[in-house]
Amino acid sequence: MDGIVAVNLTRDTTEEERPNPTQGPSGSGNFPAVTREWLNRMISIPDVRGQLTHVAWAKALDEMQKLLLLPEAPSAFLPLAILSMAKKACMQDFEHLGDFIYQAGENQMLLVNKQRPVSGRSAQCMARMIGFEAGEEDDMGCGTFESVEELDEEAYIRIHYALRRFTEAHDLCHCIGDIEKGLEVALKGLHHMEAFVHLHQNGQVLARVEHHITELQEFIRSKGLGEHLLPFY
């Protein structure tokens, strides 16, 4: 990851692993530094993002706020890395849902995949899209469901019934052997997934983050450090 400080949003680092928080490319210190005003404008995006937004934005907000505590202005590479990594996490789930909905419309058998049921994975993905920590396992703990219900009833309904219908469809197809009925039930689950895509509030956040990512990249290039930029997502 030459030239970019890796800000890990998924695990804690040891003191030995932790990079200098104000350092961009090796030997450049905190150059090119971003102003506190600019940093506050970037922080305002995840800070006022709305309830039904990806868990990655909450992590990005925490990391960005820590930059305000540094003794000197941080290098532009730091907020660039934080925002880009959050954007990538959000886009991966957003695109996973969109691609799956499209592909399932073309091939309904994907809804009742025997090798790895879609039910748990889709529920986990949707939970992350509205701000909840969720892994990649094919099961979703009841505690997460309860938290989603407390946050937003419609989001709960969409996630709960998508998971429920896909689970029912899988059992109908692979335990009872009724493929026709299983696909009929699975399509009801797909309907809830499609409705969820129009429910979450990540679109505006992504647009504003993309604007700042572009500004940061242009700022870095204007200081003669464009060669240190990675091809961001």
Our CA dihedral for 178, 96, 9, 50, rounded to 10 degrees, sits at: -100
Using a 10 angstrom Cβ sphere, with 0-12 exposed, 13-18 middle and 19 or more buried, the burial of residue 77 is buried
Please indicate, yes or no, whether residues 188 and 223 belong to a single structural domain of this protein.
no
Residue 164 structural domain: 107-197
230 burial via Cβ count (<10 Å: 0-12, 13-18, 19+): middle
Quick check: is 156 in a domain? yes
**Same structural domain for residues 156 and 210?**
no
Query: Taking the model in full, what pTM does it have?
Result: 0.81
Q: Residue 224 — pLDDT band, cuts 50, 70, 90?
A: very high
Q: Which tokens hold the place of 187? A: 């399509």
51 and 118 together in one domain: no
- Please indicate, yes or no, whether residues 129 and 206 belong to a single structural domain of this protein: no
For residue range 151-168, list pLDDT tens digits in order: 899 999 999 898 889 889
- Considering the domain architecture, whether residues 77 and 130 belong to the same structural domain is answered as no
In terms of domains, do 192 and 207 share one?
Answer: no
Over residues 40-79, the pLDDT tens digits come to 999 999 998 988 999 999 999 999 999 999 999 999 999 9
Residue 94 lies in a domain: no
Q: Is residue 113 part of a domain?
A: yes
Q: Given this model, what pLDDT does residue 21 score? A: 40
Structurally, the chain folds into a number of domains equal to: 2
